[in-house]
Amino acid sequence: MTITQLRQQLLAGETTSTAILQQLAGEIAARDPQTGAYLSHDLESAIAEAAHADLSLPLGGIPIAIKDNINVLGQPCTCGSKFLSENYTSPYDASVVKKLRAAGAIPFGRMNQDEFAMGSATENSALQITRNPHDPQRIPGGSSGGSAAAVADHTAIAALGSDTGGSIRQPASHCGVVGLKPSYGRVSRYGLVAFASSLDQIGPLTQSVDDAALILQAIAGYDPLDSTCLDVPVPDYLTNINDGVRGMKLGVPKEYFGTGIDPGVRKNVEAAIQKLAAQGAEIVEISLPHSEHAVATYYVIAPAEASSNLSRFDGIRYGRRAANPTDILDLYKKSREEGFGPEVKRRIILGTYVLSSGYYDAYYSRAQKVRTLIRRDFETAFQHVDAIVSPIAPTPARRIGAFANDPLHEYLSDIFTISANLAGIPGISVPCGTTDFDGGTHLPVGLQILGPHLGEAKLLQIAKAV
């Protein structure tokens, strides 16, 4: 059931928060050994919280699963990494977790992810494999793959993920659930383990658009602990959610429908756009001329920021500490050598390189300039359209292992999602049917809806119409 349905049952006295948790634990025991979405969960402490859940609050009594890079007091926070999996326990709640608790929700379960959120398949988790509930031979997407897979598998009611270049929207698309990346500054990242600080946002993965609105309502808003978090009022995201798309202008970027898109993805996305037209939206072709540079720009800026953010993992302050170092440099080196997986090392090396004095101008500072051009593309587009509609990913979920040792191929698959992070605008993925692909059948496809900065209410309204 959705949050909305469960809330009705809770308020009618037809179920209790404890009963919901016990049922979830049963579903997890039945299916998660195959799916592998959960890294850990603590039923006992969740049930203790459920006992005094305040049902009068908007998420009162509802368990919400949390990606394992968001701190929850007293729980593990592995980031899918061996660096943190053995001896790190969160000493505090992330601000989003505090806000969820203040809305009555119960954080329950820690979800698998690509190590430090670097990846698009959850295959870069150093801890376990997560499978797509629609086809266990396939990836759930990533990096919030555990969050998406659990919601699709009905082992979680809803979940939080993080999105630096598509990590909420793309796994939502691959698993057939709703995923919302809010605008940069809409939601506090205090307590989210930083990957690329100018791009990271936290958002919900849910079974319905209404549920995404409910969670965004709870987590959005000012937080003095994150200096990038905006002090602007949070609208009521449910007020206009059922108002439909009549009279709206929706832009279809011609650069997003070129070669390389799987025909089944194209067909489903185009059909969804036609349905929006049938409901009264005006569809216009637009251009985002710098789109072709988005992947290169992102894969300079994100690793640069990651190389700086991850320098805190030095073997002293957090997590893993190598045994028997000869001196302090040896301790840094050994701890990082042992603790980080290959993709994280690749990003740190790449990021350090583009920031180094000889290459800074050629790569990092140039990427920042192209980033401005990409942001301006969107600003120009939103002078003419209310929102932009597009695919989320070029193909449905691929097979596990299909891109092994081919990181470039993997990076290129982020083409439709990373521009929103570079521009700081919100994006939502909403299921728009299923297709056959590479021997798999009935694989979910997502429609992406992008809107102007802080335009989440309208995105939810369009997504609901879909």
Among positions 75, 78, 143, 419, the unique one binding ligand GLN when judged by CB under 6 A: 143
Footprint (CB under 6 A) of ligand GLN, residues 332-391: none
398-437: which residues touch ligand GLN (CB under 6 A)? 414
* Phi/psi at 95 (5° precision): -60, -35
Burial group, residue 4, by CB count within 10 angstroms (0-12, 13-18, 19+): middle
Sign of CA pseudo-dihedral 314, 317, 322, 324: positive
Contacts (Cβ under 8 Å, ≥6 apart) of 106: 17, 21, 46, 49, 50, 53, 61, 62, 63, 64
Sign of CA dihedral 42, 153, 190, 413: positive
Q: Is 118 in the site for ligand GLN (CB under 6 A)?
A: yes
Q: Closer CB to ligand GLN, residue 123 or residue 255? A: 123
Report the relative pairing of strands 282-286 and 249-253 from DSSP bridges: parallel
Give the whole-angstrom CA distance, residue 106 versus residue 42.
11
Q: Indicate the residue among 85 and 120 with the shorter CB distance to ligand GLN.
A: 120
Q: How far is the CB of 425 from ligand GLN (least distance, A)?
A: 15
Residues in the interface with ligand GLN (CB under 6 A) total 13
Does 163 interact with ligand GLN (rule: CB under 6 A)?
A: yes
Cα 87 off chain centre by: 26
Nearest approach in angstroms of CB 124 to ligand GLN is: 8
CB of 306 to ligand GLN, least distance (A): 8
Q: Which of 167, 183, 217, 297 binds ligand GLN (CB under 6 A)?
A: 167
The first and second tokens of residue 333, run together, are 């080196």
Residue span binding ligand GLN (CB under 6 A) among the ranges 87-95, 160-168, 259-267, 390-398: 160-168
Beta carbons within 8 Å of 396's beta carbon, 6+ residues apart: 174, 262, 264, 265, 435, 437, 440, 443, 444, 445
Closer to ligand GLN by CB, 115 or 223: give it. Answer: 115
CB of 335 or CB of 429, closer to ligand GLN: 429
DSSP single-letter state for residue 243: S
Residue 72 touches ligand GLN, criterion: CB under 6 A: no
For residue 362, the 8-state DSSP code is: I
| Residue among 80, 141, 145, 166 that touches ligand GLN (CB under 6 A) | 166
Residue 203, Cα to own-chain centre: how many angstroms? 6
Applying CB under 6 A, the span of 99-107, 163-171, 381-389, 442-450 interacting with ligand GLN comes to: 163-171
Measured over the CA atoms of residue 54, residue 56, residue 57 and residue 58, the dihedral's sign is positive
Tell me which residues are annotated as active site: 67, 143, 167
165 belongs to the binding site for ligand GLN (CB under 6 A): yes
Question: Of the ranges 158-166, 246-254, 322-330, 423-431, which one interacts with ligand GLN (CB under 6 A)?
Answer: 158-166
Structure tokens given for 262: 């799987």
Per CB under 6 A, does 117 bind ligand GLN? yes
By CB under 6 A, name the one of 96, 302, 393, 463 that touches ligand GLN. Answer: 302
Alpha helices in 220-341 (DSSP H): 263-278, 294-309, 328-339
Q: Which is nearer to ligand GLN, 120 or 206 (CB)?
A: 120
The stretch near ligand GLN (CB under 6 A) out of 125-133, 157-165, 183-191, 362-370 is: 157-165
Q: Are 143 and 68 in contact (CB under 8 A)?
A: no
Question: Going by C-beta distance under 8 Å and a sequence separation of 6 or more, which residues neighbour residue 98?
Answer: none
Q: How far is the CB of 24 from ligand GLN (least distance, A)?
A: 26
Q: Which of 78, 120, 130, 268 binds ligand GLN (CB under 6 A)?
A: 120
Answer yes or no whether residue 307 interacts with ligand GLN by CB under 6 A: no
Site residues (vs ligand GLN, CB under 6 A):
117-120, 143, 163-167, 195, 302, 414
